[in-house]
Each structure stands twice: as structure tokens, then as C-alpha cells.
């Protein structure tokens, strides 16, 4: 894991280093300065761009380990502060999305498994196929048009992190994520229903409801924890 992180950081720094353009000139042009050769040289010296490549990489990694990600020259504030500002909204959106995913996928997955090869099972599977086939950008636009523009139930844009402002984006993300969870819940519960302990519980006279909720469901939820962790990572990294 550590070697992978070092490799990724080195590759990222290399790509940034060989990218076309002069960072010092970009900073000066963004600040509306008169760019002269003397000012360019001074800026390169202040930014450490005149140092060897490995020295620059070492300084960057050293600052990163101390929490110093540098300064955003466009926003005129530390990069860590800018990331923190965006992380609040991203984290809130991820939490709401996960809640919607569980609300949608668990009941549908359980219903589909319990009514296997019946019309509820076919209906849920068809809806899952449709859900995974719809592009997120199209679904998001449709939700904004219907619930934001026409019905005016939710804001189209929001300048602050509010529950009403993240409902439509969260539903958009949750519908796509739920398709995977519904299939996973259905598969896991069907596997558990054929286990020996379920057969023994039925032989003891326990009702199907008790077997499902007190025995099958707790065991079926364990494999979903891994999938949930992957989804949270995707949400935090993919929607930032």
C-alpha cells in the first residue's frame, strides 16, 4: 500500500513537472502582473522551481506529510482549506446518498429474494436493469426539470449545504448505486435461505418471518459491508 502511494505520488508529480507551460508565468498572469524576465526569475526562485526535480519532489512530499499542500494562487488561500470547504458538501452528499441506497435496495432486494421467480422478482429485476442503464447526467437533468423547475419542490441550485439542496443529486446517485445493491441483496439472501441452519429453523417450526429477520438478514448483511465501503469511497472521490 505504501509503495503504491509513493509510486502514484511520484507519477503524478512527474506528469505535472513535464506538463507544458511555466507555472511561474501562469501565477503572474493570473494575478494581472506585468510579466518581465526578472519577475519571472524571482517567482521561480520563490516557488522553488529552479531546484532539481528530485529536490522539488522531496519538498512537495515533505510538505504533504505535514499537511501543507501549498497555496492556491487563483484563490489566494491554502489548498487544504479549499479542499476542506468542498469536503463538507461532498461528505454530506455521500451520507444522504448511502441512506437513500439502503432505503431503496434493502426492501427491494429482500422482496425479490422472498418472491423468487414470481412477478415481484421479475419486476424488481427489470427495474434494476433499467436503473443501471440510465445515464446519471440524464436522470439528474430529468429530476431537476420535474421536481425543481416544474413542481418547484427542490432548489435547482444552492449556495450552501442544505438537505433540500442535496436531495436530487443524492437520489440521482442512489438510483444507480441501488441497482448493484438490489442484485447483491437478492443473491446473498437466496444463498442464505438454502443454508443448513435455515432448514433446521424450519424443522423447529419457526415462521418464515422470524427466520428471515432474525437469522437470514443479519448474516446476509455482512457481505454488503464491503460493497458499502467501496461505494462510500467512490462517492467521496467521484463526486467531489
Q: Which residues pair with 71 in a beta bridge?
A: 78
Residue with cell 501562469: 26
The CATH number given to whatever domain includes residue 109 is 1.10.3720.10
What is the rounded distance in angstroms from the CA atom of residue 217 to the CA atom of residue 186? 11
Q: For the whole model, what pTM was predicted?
A: 0.73
What is the rounded distance in angstroms from the CA atom of residue 43 to the CA atom of residue 59? 17
Same domain (yes/no): 18, 41: yes
Q: Supply angle C-alpha 16, 20, 26, rounded to 5.
A: 85
What is the rounded distance in angstroms from the CA atom of residue 170 to the CA atom of residue 186? 23
Q: What is the pLDDT along the chain (240 residues), one digit of tens a residue?
A: 678 888 888 898 888 888 877 777 777 766 665 667 777 778 778 777 788 888 888 888 888 888 777 777 776 777 777 777 778 888 888 999 999 999 999 999 999 988 888 999 999 999 888 888 888 889 989 999 999 888 888 888 777 778 888 899 999 999 988 988 998 899 889 888 888 888 888 888 888 888 888 888 888 888 788 888 888 888 887 654
Domain end among 68, 98, 113: 68
| Cα dihedral 167, 169, 80, 159 sign | negative
- Domain hosting 160: range is 82-238
Amino acid at each position: 500500500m505504501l509503495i503504491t502511494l509513493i509510486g502514484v505520488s511520484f507519477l503524478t508529480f512527474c506528469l505535472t513537472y513535464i506538463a507544458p507551460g511555466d507555472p511561474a508565468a501562469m501565477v503572474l498572469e493570473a494575478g494581472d502582473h506585468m510579466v518581465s524576465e526578472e519577475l519571472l526569475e524571482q517567482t521561480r526562485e520563490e516557488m522553488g522551481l529552479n531546484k532539481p526535480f528530485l529536490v522539488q519532489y522531496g519538498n512537495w512530499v515533505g510538505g504533504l506529510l505535514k499537511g501543507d499542500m501549498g497555496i492556491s494562487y487563483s484563490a489566494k488561500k491554502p489548498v487544504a482549506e479549499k479542499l476542506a470547504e468542498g469536503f463538507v458538501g461532498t461528505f454530506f452528499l455521500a451520507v444522504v446518498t448511502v441512506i437513500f441506497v439502503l432505503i431503496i435496495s434493502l426492501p427491494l432486494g429482500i422482496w425479490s429474494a422472498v418472491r423468487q421467480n414470481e412477478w415481484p422478482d421479475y419486476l424488481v429485476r427489470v427495474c434494476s436493469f433499467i436503473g443501471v442503464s440510465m445515464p446519471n447526467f440524464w436522470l439528474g437533468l430529468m429530476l431537476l426539470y420535474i421536481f425543481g423547475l416544474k413542481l418547484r419542490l427542490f432548489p435547482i441550485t444552492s449556495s450552501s449545504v442544505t438537505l433540500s439542496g442535496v436531495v436530487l443529486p443524492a437520489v440521482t446517485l442512489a438510483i444507480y448505486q441501488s441497482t448493484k445493491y438490489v442484485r447483491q441483496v437478492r443473491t446473498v439472501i437466496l444463498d442464505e435461505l438454502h443454508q443448513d441452519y435455515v432448514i433446521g429453523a424450519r424443522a423447529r417450526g419457526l415462521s418464515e418471518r422470524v427466520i428471515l429477520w432474525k437469522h437470514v438478514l443479519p448474516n446476509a448483511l455482512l457481505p454488503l459491508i464491503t460493497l458499502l465501503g467501496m461505494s462510500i469511497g467512490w462517492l467521496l472521490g467521484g463526486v467531489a
